[in-house]
Amino acid sequence: MDRSNIEPLQRAVDAAAASGDAVHVTGLEAWYGESHILHGVDLRAARGEVVTLLGRNGAGRSTTLKAIMGLTDRRRGSIVIDGRETVGMPPQGVARLGVGYCPEERGIFAGLSCEENLMLPPRLPRARGTPMSLDEIYEMFPNLAERRASQGTRLSGGEQQMLAIARILRTGADILLLDEISEGLAPVIVQTLARVIRVLKSRGFTVLLVEQNFRFAAPLADRFYVMEHGRIVDTFEAARLHEKAAALQALLNI
């Protein structure tokens, strides 16, 4: 094998491991079939950070989460999670490292009750996080406690979103990939989800958040990445959000 291809990748892995980041992505390329979607994406999330990917629909934000999770048809580059290279891992291997993925479609099972959906995924023996008990989850999401016996798909959209996140927390995952969790939800539910993310951050969870709702994401994130056409075109810390406001308004139509 050509060492000219191996050595830069190994240097990226070594640098990512030394950084101590929970997630460190370098030169990520990803495909769906023959469609080349991601083009050299670099991003990082330190442990305990909330990082938000901004961009128009179709920019590659959701594909980035799927690629980190191993759900694209093909990918290359480096994805280091807690010091381990994961590009060659299947999705279940990535999950066992403590990565929880909440897709836009939520994945609630119609034939199971709210509590049965919640109890469905196994706890992750290799995850760094501590699985939340049912009591802890119901304290964080009181709506779910009230609806524990209800059929999963009879919950409101907001309750289903809460259930999708709560199901991850019960496994012990402490790196969360959340895709458009506020989309189409009532303002009171969006406020609840924002509160939950703040609580998780205070407990040391790492959150990589894809959001179109800038007003939801802005007060939560420590760092922002802006994507266009499958590439990162800008990155900035929360302290620089004000100076970036005009450009973001033009990009996101907010």
pLDDT for position 127: 61
Query: Is 41:54 a contact under the CB 8 Å cutoff?
Result: no
Q: What value does the mean pLDDT take over residues 71-81?
A: 96
pLDDT for position 115: 94
Structural domains in the chain (count): 1
pLDDT for position 1: 44
Structure tokens that stand for 140 in this block: 């964080």
Q: Give pLDDT tens digits for 101-155.
A: 999 888 899 889 999 999 988 887 666 668 899 999 999 999 999 999 999 889 9
Range of the domain at 18: 3-252
Higher pLDDT, 213 or 235: 235
Statement: the pTM of the whole predicted model exceeds 0.85: yes
pLDDT for position 246: 81
In three-state form (DSSP H/G/I as H, E/B as E, the rest C), the secondary structure along the chain is CCHHHHHHHHHHHHHHHHHCCCEEEEEEEEEECCEEEEEEEEEEECCCCEEEEECCCCCCHHHHHHHHHCCCCEEEEEEEECCEECCCCCHHHHHHCCEEEECCCCCCCCCCEHHHHHHCCCCCCCCCCCCCCHHHHHHHCHHHHHCCCCEHHHCCHHHHHHHHHHHHHCCCCCEEEEECCCCCCCHHHHHHHHHHHHHHHHCCCEEEEECCCHHHHCCCCCEEEEEECCEEEEEEEHHHHHHHHHHHHHHHCC
Q: Give pLDDT tens digits for 21-48.
A: 999 999 999 999 999 999 999 999 999 9
Provide the CATH number for the domain around residue 237: 3.40.50.300
